């Protein structure tokens, strides 16, 4: 306790220098935490936008389905996967897919039919909220279809239009029926925009004589379950079938996030080094100023440890105050950005890069990873930076130190 | 010495050239171009009408359709399904490069988008493009006789066709094998752009069809789907009958 009191007094012997160092450390901490929280927000948001819409964090397919999308490669026991997901409190949606032809008047276009369970989609995913016109599919089959916006545009379809849908049914016959357009989606990424035609799974089964074939179960915990754990859960429920994660489905996006992660580390390192070097400079100056003093207390019987403790004590107080103050400010600014975000809509609306969609309002995310980690790291490195000046002081020869002018 | 060997070389070259030219000259009058045109024209006339069955066998299902068709000139045809009952009345009309389908269940005519022209026609191993193809092999391809003689106990002529650079053709090569003598096709093998075999159409069951001697059965076998094929058998056929233009209208498609 005595050591700390001495350290505290020593610190304020050069008030201006201490304040400047404090400011440097806290500003670095502030910037570091705010930027980490913002970047974390960007990444978490982009992943959530991607997975929550319809992709899911984990997907299950029959072996080989992803390779050729053959209608006949259906999941063996989709019920077991759905049950396992439900038992773990994870959202899951079964889907059937088929390519077909959608026609309206003189217009026609290839389409990818999604046979979905609207109730399950609502519970696990956000696609139902991305309806630009009309509404999403109801829970009961009603020969209704919801279209991707580009598909709707190329068919010149409106809410209320009646589409002819033609497919090659599972028995080889030419499945065809009329579907009423009840909704048109907002922009949801190229895959959905261009050719998605969503229909109720019961209507799908009837049109395709599909016997309820399910091609995909998408699982989504909305970030509550670690990806690997969710993957293991799905794999256990679907032996012999292919379990993928969004990182596999969207390798470009996954790589991009990994690169960002590394870049953030580099960026953080620069800030932490700058703060630590500033602090080291202060401690070196303080040590050199007091060479005679150190010589005298050594001569009076102070141990090496005592001097080490004195100097590192000062550094500890300085780092603690600096990072503490910076962290408090950072917390406040980050919290503001969590709530209000940065409105980027004047620069770009909702935009996507590498398959990731970013919100027009850039919000921060406060988490252990994005806040506590950089703060603790900053504190630790600053402490380390004081060891060199402390060792210098501790190794002084008392006689020569006293005689130094 | 040197001039002698030059002369020998020239003589040898001339002999080889003669040998290479000999099969073409020996094709009993028909040039490769005439053979290709002959194959192209087998089923063509000013007009035609007929009845055929198409059996499609895939890994997952098998079915047989009975169809009636009408055609006029090179670019107009109408095909209507008579059986099975579920699809009876379904019809395909082609005028030029446009293809329309009529679906009786929903009572709608839909026009096939150009993006689906390479897709399957009625679930068979024929594409919509096969249906609308009207240009002659001899116009789209450069060709030469690559084999002439006895193979598998039959006397045949093999013509290998390579697409001209500007031809709108999806194949990298087509090999047409006809029977020597009557030039009736035995099979045509289609190769993709990497020159791997993609599909083969076999012609069998030669007999009388509408007064012509023709192969009455065609079997399309895709290379990449073992066990699958489409078999088309002509039951009846008439050539050069009077057909009104109105037969090939969207109105008659619905009837």
Residue B5 has pLDDT above 70, yes or no: no
Q: How far is A152 from chain B (nearest CA, A)?
A: 15
Whole-angstrom distance, CA of residue A359 vs CA of residue A353: 12
Residue B17 has pLDDT above 50, yes or no: no
Where is A180: in which H helix or E strand?
strand A174-185
pLDDT band at B28 (very low <50, low <70, confident <90, very high): low
Question: Which residues in chain A are contacts of B63 at CB distance < 8 A?
Answer: 171-173
CB contact, 8 Å: B73 with chain A? no
**Stronger pLDDT, A346 or A389, i.e. the higher one:** A389
**Stronger pLDDT, A252 or A142, i.e. the higher one:** A142
Question: Region A287-298: what's the mean pLDDT?
Answer: 88
Decide if A47 contacts A185 (C-beta within 8 A): no
Which residues neighbour A102 within 8 Å (Cβ) at sequence distance 6 or greater?
A: A108, A109, A110, A111, A147, A151, A155, A163, A164, A165, A166, A197
pLDDT band at A352 (very low <50, low <70, confident <90, very high): low
Whole-angstrom distance, CA of residue A19 vs CA of residue A33: 21
Q: A176–B63: do the CB atoms touch at under 8 Å?
A: no
Q: How far is B38 from chain A (nearest CA, A)?
A: 34
Whole-angstrom distance, CA of residue B180 vs CA of residue B148: 8
Burial of A378 (C-beta count, 10 Å sphere; 0-12/13-18/19+): buried
Tell me the range of A143-147, A369-373, B85-89 where mean pLDDT is highest: A143-147
- CA distances in angstroms from A401 to A32, A288, B31, listed in the order given: 40, 10, 112
pLDDT of residue B2: 43
Whole-angstrom distance, CA of residue A264 vs CA of residue A360: 22
Question: Which residues in chain A are contacts of B105 at CB distance < 8 A?
Answer: 176-177
Residue A78 has pLDDT above 50, yes or no: yes
A103 vs B58, B86, B110: nearest CB? B110
Find, in chain B, the residue whose alpha carbon is nearest to that of A102. B110
pLDDT band at B3 (very low <50, low <70, confident <90, very high): very low
- Domain of residue B70, CATH code: 2.50.20.10
**Stronger pLDDT, A163 or B10, i.e. the higher one:** A163
Whole-angstrom distance, CA of residue B136 vs CA of residue B140: 7
B108 vs A109, A164, A171: nearest CB? A164
Question: Which residues in chain A are contacts of B113 at CB distance < 8 A?
Answer: 101, 108-110
**Stronger pLDDT, B83 or A347, i.e. the higher one:** B83
Residues B59 and B150 in one domain: yes
Residues B35 and B107 in one domain: yes
Q: A173–B123: do the CB atoms touch at under 8 Å?
A: yes
- CA distances in angstroms from A125 to A234, B191, B221, listed in the order given: 17, 46, 44
Decide if A75 contacts A216 (C-beta within 8 A): yes
Residues B7 and B47 in one domain: no
Question: Region B174-199: what's the mean pLDDT?
Answer: 93
A168 vs B59, B86, B123: nearest CB? B123
Question: Which residues in chain B are contacts of A72 at CB distance < 8 A?
Answer: 59-60
Residues 44-73 (A) with a CB less than 8 A from some CB of B:
72
Residues B68 and B99 in one domain: yes
pLDDT band at B167 (very low <50, low <70, confident <90, very high): confident
Question: Which residues in chain A are contacts of B115 at CB distance < 8 A?
Answer: 109-110
Residues B1 and B69 in one domain: no
Residue B19 has pLDDT above 60, yes or no: no
Question: Region A376-403: what's the mean pLDDT?
Answer: 88
Question: Which residues in chain B are contacts of A172 at CB distance < 8 A?
Answer: 56, 58, 60-63, 123
Give the residue from A320, A379, A362 showing the smallest Cα distance to A35.
A362
Residues B24 and B55 in one domain: no
Tell me the range of A59-63, A356-360, B27-31, B145-149 where mean pLDDT is highest: A59-63
Residues B39 and B152 in one domain: yes
Whole-angstrom distance, CA of residue B205 vs CA of residue B198: 24
Whole-angstrom distance, CA of residue B108 vs CA of residue A86: 43
pLDDT band at A1 (very low <50, low <70, confident <90, very high): low
Mean pLDDT, chain A, rounded, equals 90
pLDDT of residue A353: 67
Q: A173–B86: do the CB atoms touch at under 8 Å?
A: yes
Question: Which residues in chain B are contacts of A171 at CB distance < 8 A?
Answer: 61, 63
Whole-angstrom distance, CA of residue B35 vs CA of residue A353: 56
Question: C-alpha angle B176/B179/B181, rounded to 5°?
Answer: 130
**Stronger pLDDT, B29 or A6, i.e. the higher one:** A6
Residue B247 has pLDDT above 80, yes or no: yes
pLDDT of residue B4: 44
What is the percent of chain B with per-residue pLDDT over 70, rounded to a whole number?
88
Residue A164: helix, strand or coil by DSSP? strand
Q: A72–B60: do the CB atoms touch at under 8 Å?
A: yes
CB contact, 8 Å: A101 with chain B? yes
What is the percent of chain A with per-residue pLDDT over 70, rounded to a whole number?
97
Give me the torsion for CA of A345, A347, A349, A354, rounded to 10°: -130
Whole-angstrom distance, CA of residue B59 vs CA of residue B228: 6
Residue B10 has pLDDT above 80, yes or no: no
Whole-angstrom distance, CA of residue A58 vs CA of residue A227: 8
Q: How far is B253 from chain A (nearest CA, A)?
A: 15
Residue A161 has pLDDT above 90, yes or no: yes
Q: Residue A174: how many CB atoms within 10 A of its CB?
A: 18
Whole-angstrom distance, CA of residue A112 vs CA of residue A95: 12
Which residues neighbour B241 within 8 Å (Cβ) at sequence distance 6 or greater?
A: B47, B48, B49
pLDDT of residue B21: 39
Decide if A226 contacts A47 (C-beta within 8 A): no
Sign of the torsion angle spanned by Cα atoms A61, A63, A67, A71: negative
Whole-angstrom distance, CA of residue B118 vs CA of residue B129: 6
Give the residue from A242, A206, A278 showing the smallest Cα distance to A75.
A242
Read off φ and ψ for residue A209, nearest 5 degrees.
45, 50
HSE value, Cβ hemisphere, 13 Å, CA-based, for B144:
5
pLDDT of residue B134: 67
Q: Is the peptide bond before A388 cis (omega within 30 degrees of 0)?
A: no
pLDDT of residue B25: 39
Which range, of A8-17, A53-62, B197-206, averages the lowest pLDDT?
A8-17
Residue A358 has pLDDT above 90, yes or no: no
Read off φ and ψ for residue A4, nearest 5 degrees.
-65, -40
Question: Region A258-283: what's the mean pLDDT?
Answer: 88
Q: A166–B60: do the CB atoms touch at under 8 Å?
A: no
- Could you give the number of structural domains in chain B? 2
Mean pLDDT, chain B, rounded, equals 85
pLDDT of residue A244: 95
Question: Region B94-107: what's the mean pLDDT?
Answer: 90
Residues B51 and B139 in one domain: yes
A108 vs B56, B87, B111: nearest CB? B111
Question: Region B94-122: what's the mean pLDDT?
Answer: 87
Residues B109 and B25 in one domain: no
pLDDT of residue B14: 44
- Taking only the tens place, the pLDDT of each residue in A16-48 is 989 998 999 999 999 999 999 998 888 888 888
Question: Which residues in chain B are contacts of A108 at CB distance < 8 A?
Answer: 110-113
Find, in chain B, the residue whose alpha carbon is nearest to that of A179. B106
Residue B7 has pLDDT above 80, yes or no: no
CB contact, 8 Å: B115 with chain A? yes
**Stronger pLDDT, B133 or B121, i.e. the higher one:** B121
Whole-angstrom distance, CA of residue B186 vs CA of residue B21: 24
Question: Which residues in chain B are contacts of A157 at CB distance < 8 A?
Answer: none
pLDDT band at A237 (very low <50, low <70, confident <90, very high): very high
CB contact, 8 Å: B58 with chain A? yes
Residue A153 has pLDDT above 80, yes or no: yes
Whole-angstrom distance, CA of residue B121 vs CA of residue B127: 5
Range of the domain at B22: 1-29
What is the percent of chain A with per-residue pLDDT over 90, rounded to a whole number?
50
pLDDT band at A198 (very low <50, low <70, confident <90, very high): very high
* Alpha carbon of residue B206 to chain centroid: 16
Instruction: Establish, for the pair of chains A and B, how many residue pairs have beta carbons separated by less than 8 Å.
Output: 55
Q: A164–B103: do the CB atoms touch at under 8 Å?
A: yes
Residues B105 and B163 in one domain: yes
């Amino acid at each position: 306790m005595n050591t700390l009191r001495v350290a505290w007094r020593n610190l304020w012997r050069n008030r201006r220098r201490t304040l400047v160092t404090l400011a440097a450390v806290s500003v670095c901490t502030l910037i570091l935490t705010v930027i980490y929280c913002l970047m974390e927000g960007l990444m978490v948001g982009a992943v959530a936008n991607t997975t929550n819409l319809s992709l899911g964090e984990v997907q299950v397919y029959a072996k080989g389905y992803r390779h050729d999308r053959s209608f006949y490669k259906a999941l063996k026991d989709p019920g077991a996967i759905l049950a396992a997901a439900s038992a773990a409190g994870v959202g899951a949606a079964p889907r059937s897919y088929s390519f077909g032809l959608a026609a309206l008047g003189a217009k026609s276009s290839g389409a990818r039919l999604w046979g979905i369970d609207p109730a399950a989609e609502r519970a696990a995913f956000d696609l139902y909220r991305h309806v630009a016109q009309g509404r999403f599919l109801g829970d009961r089959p009603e020969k209704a279809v919801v279209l991707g916006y580009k598909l709707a545009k190329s068919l010149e379809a409106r809410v209320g239009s009646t589409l002819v849908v033609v497919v090659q049914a599972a028995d080889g016959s030419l499945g065809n029926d009329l579907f009423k357009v009840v909704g048109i989606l907002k922009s949801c990424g190229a895959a959905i925009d261009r050719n998605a035609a969503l229909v109720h799974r019961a209507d799908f089964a009837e049109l395709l004589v599909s016997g309820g074939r399910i091609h995909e179960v998408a699982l989504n915990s909305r970030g509550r379950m670690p990806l690997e754990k969710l993957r293991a859960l799905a794999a256990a429920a679907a032996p012999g079938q292919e379990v993928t994660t969004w990182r596999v489905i969207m390798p470009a996006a996954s790589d991009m996030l990994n690169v960002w992660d590394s870049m953030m580390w580099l960026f953080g390192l620069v800030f932490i080094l700058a703060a630590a070097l500033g602090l080291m400079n202060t401690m070196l100056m303080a040590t050199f100023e007091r060479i005679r003093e150190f010589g005298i207390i050594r001569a009076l019987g102070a141990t090496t440890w005592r001097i080490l403790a004195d100097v590192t004590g000062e550094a500890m107080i300085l780092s603690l105050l600096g990072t503490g103050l910076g962290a408090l400010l950072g917390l406040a600014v980050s919290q503001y950005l969590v709530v209000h975000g940065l409105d980027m809509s004047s620069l770009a609306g909702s935009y996507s890069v590498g398959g990731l969609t970013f919100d027009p309002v850039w919000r921060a995310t406060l988490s252990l990873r994005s806040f506590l980690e950089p703060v603790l790291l900053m504190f630790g490195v600053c402490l380390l930076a004081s060891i060199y000046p402390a060792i210098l002081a501790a190794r002084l020869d008392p006689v020569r130190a006293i005689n130094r002018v | 010495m040197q001039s002698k060997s030059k002369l020998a070389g020239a003589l040898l070259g001339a002999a080889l050239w003669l040998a290479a030219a000999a099969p073409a000259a020996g094709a009993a009058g028909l040039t490769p171009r005439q053979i290709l045109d002959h194959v192209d024209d087998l089923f063509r006339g000013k007009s035609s009408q007929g009845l055929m069955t198409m059996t499609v066998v895939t890994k997952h299902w098998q079915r047989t359709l009975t169809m009636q068709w009408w055609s006029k000139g090179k670019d107009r045809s109408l095909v209507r399904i008579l059986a099975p009952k579920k699809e009876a009345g379904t019809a395909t009309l082609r005028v030029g490069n446009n293809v329309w389908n009529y679906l009786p269940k929903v009572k709608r005519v839909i026009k096939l988008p150009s993006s689906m022209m390479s897709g399957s026609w009625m679930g068979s191993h024929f594409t919509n493009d096969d249906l609308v193809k009207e240009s002659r092999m001899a116009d789209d391809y450069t060709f030469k006789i690559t084999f002439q003689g006895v193979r598998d106990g039959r006397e045949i002529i093999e013509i290998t066709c390579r697409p001209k650079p500007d031809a709108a053709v999806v194949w990298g090569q087509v090999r047409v094998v006809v029977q020597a003598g009557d030039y009736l096709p035995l099979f045509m093998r289609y190769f993709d752009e990497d020159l791997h075999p993609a599909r083969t159409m076999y012609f069998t069951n030669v007999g009388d069809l509408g007064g012509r001697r023709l192969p009455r059965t065609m079997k399309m076998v895709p290379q990449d789907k073992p066990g699958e094929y489409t078999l088309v058998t002509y039951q009846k056929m008439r050539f050069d009958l009077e057909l009104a233009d109105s037969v090939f209208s969207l109105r008659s498609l619905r009837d």
